[in-house]
Amino acid sequence: MRFDTLHVQPPSPKQADFDALSVPVHRASTIVFPNAEAFASRHERLYDGYSYGLYGTPTSRALEVQIAALEGATRALVTPSGLSAIALTCLAVAKAGGRILMPHSMYGPARAFAARVLGPLGIETVGYDPRAKAVPDLPLDERAALIWVESPGSVTFEVQDLDAVVNAARQVGATVAVDNTWATPILFNPLAHGADISMQSLSKYASGHSDLLMGSLAVRDEAMFRRLKDTARLLGLGVSSDDCFLCARGLRTLPVRLRQAERSAMEVIQAIRNHPAVVRVLHPSLPDHPGHDVWKRDFSGSNGLFSLVLSPAAGAVLDKAFDSLRYFKIGASWGATTSLIAPSNPRSERPDLAWLPDGQVVRVSVGLEDVLDLIDDLTGFLCAVIGDMPPAGGSAGSNILNQDKSRG
């Protein structure tokens, strides 16, 4: 071997007897084959083996196998983002002339994709009220190819009755896909309730650290899996093994992060719900919330995400109130270690919100900081919203210098 070749084809050390607890990061575009015959038959390995980096590596497959197990599925597929998982599902399932049903509460960019990309392709999307119990509330006929459920919905968190939707869908032979990002398989299992596809944005709680984008689709039907996988392949959708590694790492702590976020959110909600700046708290665990009874029946818990409807008097000073926040960072997304807050304007694009009281909607994602710091911060924000001074010394008396050291 000559010197330049030694740069390109180094000797490899022995790999035996190295048994780490994490899945190795396999970075690859090209995958090489032991002989010409193996190369010629590489397409047979599309679904289970390896033929090209775009179609899967041992790192992405390990994540897919774990997600399938968590979802009670036989197969799962990871995609470059949650939105791409939604778009892929629509393109794989619906044809020109067919219809997709989406709840008005569905993730906004998914509805924009339907209107701006699917519409011109001849796939019509019809919105429905997420509080609909089933037919005849659902605009269902034989044109319906795909029914989306997102429960609880984005920003306003209406809980949908998936069992009722599945029953209605069976009558017209439509596929049911659920955006299960809010619940993760820990709190709700869509496939066990009869859904055909369970989708997640892994960018939220699953990965959990605001450092990657990924989506997943889980199914029990092999033909549906192959349809989704073929469509993903032909659209050129692949994921990076580094991101899969980080996501798999995130999943290991998901149960404890989710439980802690839920507990902290409950404490924050209790501390602020009677504040004069708060007109209403939107969270499925509250008895007056749309679909609360279904949430109690179907879900095993909640998480750290909720919205506030602020006093209509807030408008003029709202920007200043946001700028006064110390721990809650202003930003999109949710479900991470860092607490986030963002104003939202769901009424501007939804026809079904007559039930929502007037006032600015603000979405809050409670992270893993000390809950007393978060209560102080949000209380200060709410006081600023109505032009009050925050309580002296912090609402929860949580100045770190005075604090019991055992709290850490």
Ligand X SMILES: *Cc1c(COP(=O)(O)O)cnc(C)c1O
Task: Between 73 and 340, name the residue whose CB sits nearer to ligand X.
Answer: 340
3-state secondary structure of 259: helix
Of 251 and 384, which CB lies nearer to ligand X in the complex structure? 251
How many whole angstroms separate alpha carbon 403 and alpha carbon 18? Answer: 46
Edge-to-edge strands of the sheet including 197-201? Answer: 75-79, 215-219, 197-201, 175-179, 144-150, 99-103, 124-128
Question: Which residues of the chain form contacts with ligand X (CB under 6 A)?
Answer: 81-83, 107, 150, 154, 179, 181, 201, 203-204, 213, 215
Closer CB to ligand X, 367 or 380, in the complex: 367
In angstroms, give the least distance from the CB of 154 to ligand X: 5
Q: Shortest Cβ distance from residue 65 to ligand X (Å)?
A: 21
CB of 102 to ligand X, least distance (A): 12
Neighbours of 393 (CB within 10 A): 11
Q: Which is nearer to ligand X, 151 or 360 (CB)?
A: 151
For residue 79, the minimal CB distance to ligand X (Å) is 9
Q: Is 276 helix (H, G, I), strand (E, B) or coil?
A: coil
Tell me whether residue 201 or residue 285 sits nearer to ligand X (CB atom): 201
C-beta of 93 vs 321, nearer to ligand X? 93
C-alpha 408 chain-centroid distance: 31
Smallest gap, in angstroms, from Cβ of residue 108 to ligand X? 9
Could you give the CA distance from residue 79 to residue 163 in angstroms, rounded to a whole number? 27
CA neighbor of 88 nearest in space, from 57, 113, 60, 116: 113
Closest residue to ligand X in the complex (CB): 82
In which residue are the tokens 């794989």 written?
92
Minimum CB–partner distance for residue 213 and ligand X (Å):
5
Which residue, among 174, 160, 207, has the nearest Cα to 89 in the 3D structure? 174
